[in-house]
Structure 1
Amino acid sequence: MAKTLRRTAAFKALFHALSAGSRGGPSLGRRLGALPRMIRATLRGEYDGGLRLAMMTAAAAYVVSPIDAMPELMMLLFGLADDALMVTWLAGSVLAETERFLEWEAHRANVVPGHVVG
């Protein structure tokens, strides 16, 4: 019973984080749509998210890699716990970084290219 309540609370928290668009933040669709632009801008050197993007890529690779199968086989509970921790961190990082990128993109749209007159 307690496990079901904790799972329900976790799903409620995830729902609230993903539905931030209704509270003034970017929606999940807008965040997911920003991912390719964020990657492109980072690779071009326009956006400073290189290290964060690399860490998110490494976390995703760890979760889906065969190397991660070893903890699951040896220590079932620990193996699943490290995956849950990694996926939680990854989801939070993607949410935070896409919001940061969308703010950067909006600020950049207001800048007129040209020379600084001093």
Structure 2
Amino acid sequence: MAKATRAAAAWRTYREVSKPGSPGLMTRVRAMPRMVGAVMRGRYAGMGRSKLALLGLGVVYIVSPVDVLPDFLMLIGVADDFGVFLWLMGSLLGESGRYVQHERAVIQARLDQV
């Protein structure tokens, strides 16, 4: 991923998180474990298990000592990890924001039934 593309993705994520009425950063972070559980139990159709698996592979890639581009290649080796990190954070924050909105809609629907 090119440097400009990573920067644009980071900027889009920041704008989405800071948009008025949108779930804030910490709300999204706290929702991530609930989202993963809901996807695994089949209670959230907004994200499939395959995308969850892809996000998990991103986490494994970042923490794994084995890299496509080894870190000893200085900037190039660190850049691939950073690119995966930016993609992972953008994806997780975006998905968790949609999940929080889904949770709010479910709660509102329950309240409307009462």
Q: Taking structure 1 as the reference length, what is the TM-score of the superposition?
A: 0.70
Q: Which runs of 5+ in 1 are unaligned?
A: 1-5, 113-118
Q: Which runs of 5+ in 2 are unaligned?
A: none
1:27-67: per-residue Cα shift (whole Å, max 9, x none)? 11111111111111111111132222221111011011011
Letter matched to residue 109 of structure 1? I
User: Is the Cα–Cα contact under 8 Å of residues 38 and 101 in structure 1 kept in the other structure?
Assistant: yes
Larger radius of gyration: 1
Query: Bigger relative contact order, structure 1 or 2, given CA contacts below 8 A and separation 6+?
Result: 2
C-alpha RMSD of matched pairs (Å): 2.8
Q: Taking structure 2 as the reference length, what is the TM-score of the superposition?
A: 0.72
Percent identity of paired positions between Structure 1 and Structure 2: 34
User: How far apart are residue 69 of structure 1 and its match?
Assistant: 8.2
Aligned twin of 1:104: 102
Using the alignment, how far apart are the partners of 1:45 and 1:64 within structure 2?
27
Equivalenced residue count is: 102
- C-alpha distance 65-37 of structure 1, shift in aligned 2 (>3 A): same
Using the alignment, how far apart are the partners of 1:88 and 1:54 within structure 2?
17
Aligned twin of 1:81: 79
Where does 1:1-118 land on structure 2 (aligned, <5 Å)? 13=11, 16-17=14-15, 20=18, 23-48=20-45, 49=47, 50-68=49-67, 71-73=70-72, 75-112=73-110
